[in-house]
Amino acid sequence: MPDPTANEWNEDNLQSLQSHILAEEQSHPQATGEFSWILSAIALATKTIANKVRRARIDDVLGDLGETNPQGETQQKLDVIANDIIKACLGSRANIGVLVSEEDEEPTVLRTHAEGGRYAVLFDPLDGSSNIDFSVGVGTIFSVLRLEDGHAAKGVEAILHHGARQVAAGYVLFGSSTVFVLTTGNGVNMFVLDQSIGAFVLVKSNLQIPQASPIYSVNEANCNRFPEPYREYLTWAHESDYTSRYIGSMVADVHRTLLKGGLFMYPPTAIHPDGKLRLMYEANPMAMIIENAGGRAISEHGRILEVEPTSLHQRSVVIMGSPDEVGHVQRFIDS
């Protein structure tokens, strides 16, 4: 009996991201086409970023700018280039009210609700960019929230919704191929950029994460500073013949976990007692994807998607992946 969750891959590859989204909207009578407008802007921006990433060292796009972002992290030239590209592409969409970027301390308010600003898009423009000098996979992560009337006056308060309120989430991995992974709450779909036609083509619908897989992904250099339950989990994993895979780029590590199964986590450390990864535009979008693929995503004290945010750039512990693998970590946390 074939495994119903096996990830058969499409043969025809003739459905583009654009036509897929329009087809989805056809099946939702209440859909107004607003979504495809936002997602097409993200597709355009990430195709442009992919071109920049692939020309690194040919064009002068590497190295740091000698400045730091709101997170106190050294800004890479490509961080700023990617941020500018995304803001330019999204800024032209008449239904986007607010943009939030890891690279900007404050949100960018584009339009009030009355002016048509119905959505907020939150993003990490180039996650993992410190790896870019070595051609390691990096990526863009995005989250889409619906805005209520009066959002412009409320400012940040209008955006601080828990992750279950997201209406869409995704990432684009600039790896050996350029992969666009998207969920609008009804499963996860995967597209690959076909350079020859300049379009993202559908390669997998309703992607399902394996129920279990003996792979864990964590920066073990920090393990002496992990709380006890995480150290006990790692001891158990070592004794259970698990494999360790860690790229140090969240988009690449989560993408591998989504396709091969296993566990990705960033536990509390001495430097980052609340975890290092950002709730609003890293943990939440990835959690929506993992859960829509049948996986689990927790932050020690329950689902990541139920964490009530108190600030725009707050961090979160991230434990996500195959249901059984997250269960193994939770068992040690709860013991």
DSSP 292: H
| The one segment of 43-51, 124-132, 236-244, 308-316 that binds ligand P6P by CB under 6 A | 124-132
Min dist. Cβ of residue 264 to ligand P6P (A) = 8
Contact residue for ligand P6P among 276, 296, 315, 328 (CB under 6 A): 276
Contact residue for ligand P6P among 70, 185, 248, 327 (CB under 6 A): 248
Within 141-180, which residues bind ligand P6P (CB under 6 A)? none
C-alpha R_g of the chain? 19
Residue 152 tokens, joined: 């412009």
DSSP 157: G
**Which CB atom, from 9 or from 134, has the smaller least distance to ligand P6P?**
134
Min dist. Cβ of residue 221 to ligand P6P (A) = 7
Among 258, 180, 206, 259, which residue's Cα sits nearest to residue 18? 180
Q: What's the start-to-end Cα distance of the chain, in Å?
A: 38
| The one segment of 3-11, 83-91, 249-257, 298-306 that binds ligand P6P by CB under 6 A | 249-257
**Which CB atom, from 184 or from 284, has the smaller least distance to ligand P6P?**
284
| The one segment of 40-48, 125-133, 231-239, 325-333 that binds ligand P6P by CB under 6 A | 125-133
How would you class 75 by CB atoms within 10 Å of its CB: exposed for 0-12, middle for 13-18, buried for 19 or more?
Answer: middle
Contact 310, 160 (CB under 8 A): yes
| The one segment of 51-59, 62-70, 127-135, 227-235 that binds ligand P6P by CB under 6 A | 127-135
Q: Does 127 bind ligand P6P (CB under 6 A)?
A: yes
Q: Does 315 bind ligand P6P (CB under 6 A)?
A: no
Contact residue for ligand P6P among 107, 128, 267, 285 (CB under 6 A): 128
Q: Does 189 bind ligand P6P (CB under 6 A)?
A: no
Min dist. Cβ of residue 225 to ligand P6P (A) = 11
Helices 34-54 + 17-26 axis angle, to 10: 160
- Distance separating alpha carbons of residues 234 and 232, to the nearest angstrom: 5
- The helix (H) or strand (E) run that includes residue 144 is strand 138-146
**Which CB atom, from 87 or from 255, has the smaller least distance to ligand P6P?**
255
Contact 284, 320 (CB under 8 A): no
Phi, psi for 72 (deg, rounded to 5): 80, 10
The neighbour count for residue 315, using CB atoms within 10 Å, is 20
| Residues binding ligand P6P (CB under 6 A) | 127-128, 130, 219, 248-250, 253, 276
